[in-house]
Structure 1
Amino acid sequence: MQSSSYYRMALILGLLSAIGPFAIDMYLPALPAIGSALGAEVGAVQFSLTAFFLSLGVGQLLYGPVSDMVGRKPPLYFGLGLFVVASVGCALASDIHTLVAFRFLQGLGAAAGMAIPRAVVRDLHTGTEAARLMSLLMLVFSVSPILAPLAGSGVIALAGWRGVFWAVALAAVAGLALVGATLRETRPPEQRVDSSVGGALRAYRLLLGDWHYLGLVGIGSCALAGFFVFLAGSPFVLINHYGLTPTQYSLAFSFNAVAFIGASQFTATLGRRFGLAPMVKVAATASGSTIALLLAYYLFGGDALWVLMALNFIASAFMGLVIPTVSVLALEEHGPIAGTASALMGTLQMLVGALAMAVVGVFANGQPLPMVVGMALGSFSSVALTWLTLARPAGGSRPQALRT
């Protein structure tokens, strides 16, 4: 692939992947305002976020096998169309229950943009080249946590919280145009698996029997669970507890994204020099150790915002090396069913994240400690799975990948 085509593909896939996260990150500065406007408690407002994550996870189970059967582009058209309709419904919601329902549908639509781009990466590359493309995709994808909260604050200032949903609806319309005009089909008919429910079930059974695959997925899922806890809790902690304005919150939230983006661009280089698996072990351990320091700080009574931001910045940088790499390693041996493998990975990541947010939400009181405890549990679980999964090379009794 020529360099210009390589970067163009990364840009297209990154933008498609970012539509769903944009619907999360633009929404974060508005959470307190939504609670006030709709007369909802903190837990109910947070559940609108949890509902989105649940459907974002479950929906990928459908899009992945379908994209293996009919190609990558048709499911993208459907998912983005559903996202547009649901976003309009969110913008018009008059109570928290209606908002939660449409957020669930919005997540179902966004699931297409999460599962399919990773499968396209596997269609095109493996190994360090796949890690390079995945990191470039993550570069575009990770711009969302930087720009989206800032954009959300601007939209909220001009049009209120409902304007956020009109904005993401327009972004999805642009995504539809992008798919139609620029994305080529990477799953030609001769590579598509048997178009049947049985074929999809066999693929999922294969993946659920591959403990190495599940371990790699678990590493990323637990790491992301810690991030999702921060995602749900940070608006209340940083705005209500530390007194930041929505714009200041957006800048503070973006700070961690800069670390993740910057570090992720070194995945291919470090992977070629040291190996992908050793890099993951070192980076995951370093991230977990940093979060352990943050937890100890709050357990012993600390309450300085700069400590929270500085240590989370360091942990996010190390996670920037882990998450793209374990995604590549998980899909490496499952090229013929890359869409299904990507879907199951995305589903497990979203479901683990949603569960973590729901559990921590029960204990949420606007103080930093419950949020930090949830972040630490996710990080520590990720470290444990890293050393269990990557303690020995892949191979041996692993199931053989399905063939077309």
Structure 2
Amino acid sequence: MRGMILLLALLSAFPPLSIDMILPALPTLAETWNQPVATINLILVCFVVTYAFFLLVYGPVSDRYGRRRPLMVGLSVFVVSSLLGAMMDNVSSVIFFRALQGAGAAAGPSLALAMSKDLFTGKDRERVLAYLGIIVPLAPMLAPTFGSWITAWLSWHWIFYAQAILGLIALIGVSRCPETLVSRSSNSLAQVAGAYIRLAKNPTYVALTLLMATIMLPFFGFIAGSSHIYITGFGLSEQNFGYFFAFNALCIMLGSIAFLRLVRGYESKTLITVGFTGILVGGLGLLFGEGLGQWGFALAMAVIAFSGGLSRPPSNNLILEQVKHEAGAASSLLLFTYFILGAVAMWFVSLEWESKQAIIGLLGVSCGGLCLTAWLTMRRMGMLRHE
């Protein structure tokens, strides 16, 4: 079980590994290529957009053909595009191969979530998702720091080489992993893809998916704006930015650890409520804490990060409990919604705002308040199904 959890964690870590490792290099790339921040941030946005759309491909394919083969194809695409991206030296080519990276990376998290549905049930799956919530934040903790070291000592090209190595390690792990889907769909691929229509007719699944995706918008806004805020705004070095970013990821990990402890005495739904409330409070801290410097910004984001780590494992498990079959499609649609809304948030924060901190704070307040209200309403109406 331990080995499977580690493999699921590595597969789930591809988004932060791919996104966060290059963050410290963005200001340098903007200066080197003489491009505005909004153009350079397309390196992030295009990755997220293609990643999100290809999530919709891997889910139904895996319900029809199993999890292993689609995973190996996706990871192979990721490795090749990383190697090719390392050889480029202009913004257009890098954006193109980052988009191709996203197409390959999408296989990891969606099928890792589907595999958790294949292998575990109920509270066991909830605990496994919490363990992933502890392990996976190591990626955003370490990735910016590694990225800053690579940028300072070598060049940004080596960030792509490092990602290719990580993809190759995951590919070897999947090749040694048995197929987890016991009962594959006998329908044609077109019929299997119709799972998205069937999921759209499940109102509780749709409502929870939209809710849990919306609450993630401040996190994506932070990813897009953090390097500008810390490096350009506060004047920190790329290395110190990496440490502050790692602090934020540590808070996500601590939130998941807290969930494992608190769930012994409190309902999962209560902890989701606490998490949503914390995101609202953190957003208020960002809005009214301007002028407090990097630590004021970091501490307010720490509240949001901890609250997200607390609420994410039970909320993902609750969404999976709303479907009995077609876990691949359900997982893919869930993550697609996360990341397509996240791409919008990243684009929004990348615009030439006077204060990106205030914009991220506004996302925290509006999304936290809206989602908390909707969540409490769903609880009162008894809309939630459990396995």
| Alignment TM-score > 0.5, same fold | yes
Does residue 1:351 correspond to 2:346, yes or no? no
Q: After TM superposition, give the deviation of residue 72 of structure 1 in Å.
A: 0.7
CA distance in 2, matches of 1:200, 1:272: 38
For residues 378 and 105 of structure 1, do their structure 2 counterparts lie closer, same or farther at Cα, with a shift above 3 Å needed?
A: farther
2:214 counterpart (216, 222, 230): 222
Equivalent position amino acid for 1:29 in 2:
P
Partner residue, 1:13: 8
Partner residue, 2:181: 187
Partner residue, 1:213: 205
2:351 is paired with a residue whose SS is: helix
Partner residue, 1:368: 357
CA distance in 2, matches of 1:173, 1:284: 37
Partner residue, 2:147: 152
2:332 is paired with a residue whose SS is: helix
Q: After TM superposition, give the deviation of residue 269 of structure 1 in Å.
A: 4.3
Q: Check the 8 A contact 2:209/2:319 in 1, yes or no.
A: yes
Gap runs ≥5 in structure 2: none
1:171 counterpart (166, 173, 192): 166
CA distance in 2, matches of 1:100, 1:391: 46
For residues 309 and 86 of structure 1, do their structure 2 counterparts lie closer, same or farther at Cα, with a shift above 3 Å needed?
A: same
Q: After TM superposition, give the deviation of residue 268 of structure 1 in Å.
A: 4.2
Q: Check the 8 A contact 1:240/1:366 in 2, yes or no.
A: no
Partner residue, 1:78: 73
Gap runs ≥5 in structure 1: none
Q: Deviations over 1:183-205 (max 9, x none)?
A: 221102x343523212321x111
TM-score by length of 2: 0.94
Q: Check the 8 A contact 1:363/1:370 in 2, yes or no.
A: no
Q: Deviations over 1:357-404 (max 9, x none)?
A: 1122224457533343344434334323322333333369x9xx9xxx
Q: After TM superposition, give the deviation of residue 316 of structure 1 in Å.
A: 1.2
Partner residue, 2:136: 141
The aligned runs of 1:35-114 (5 Å cut-off) are 35-114=30-109
Aligned residues: 387
1:391 is paired with a residue whose SS is: helix
Q: Deviations over 1:288-324 (max 9, x none)?
A: 12322321333xxx34221111121122111111112
Equivalent position amino acid for 1:320 in 2:
G
Q: After TM superposition, give the deviation of residue 235 of structure 1 in Å.
A: 0.2
Q: Check the 8 A contact 1:69/1:192 in 2, yes or no.
A: yes
Q: After TM superposition, give the deviation of residue 127 of structure 1 in Å.
A: 2.1
1:146 is paired with a residue whose SS is: helix
Does residue 1:377 correspond to 2:366, yes or no? yes
Q: After TM superposition, give the deviation of residue 245 of structure 1 in Å.
A: 0.6
Equivalent position amino acid for 1:236 in 2:
H
> Percent identical across equivalent pairs?
29
Q: Check the 8 A contact 1:360/1:374 in 2, yes or no.
A: no
CA distance in 1, matches of 2:151, 2:53: 30
Does residue 1:22 correspond to 2:17, yes or no? yes
Does residue 1:196 correspond to 2:199, yes or no? no
TM-score by length of 1: 0.90
Q: Check the 8 A contact 1:79/1:112 in 2, yes or no.
A: yes
1:390 counterpart (376, 379, 382): 379
Q: After TM superposition, give the deviation of residue 54 of structure 1 in Å.
A: 0.7
CA distance in 2, matches of 1:395, 1:322: 16
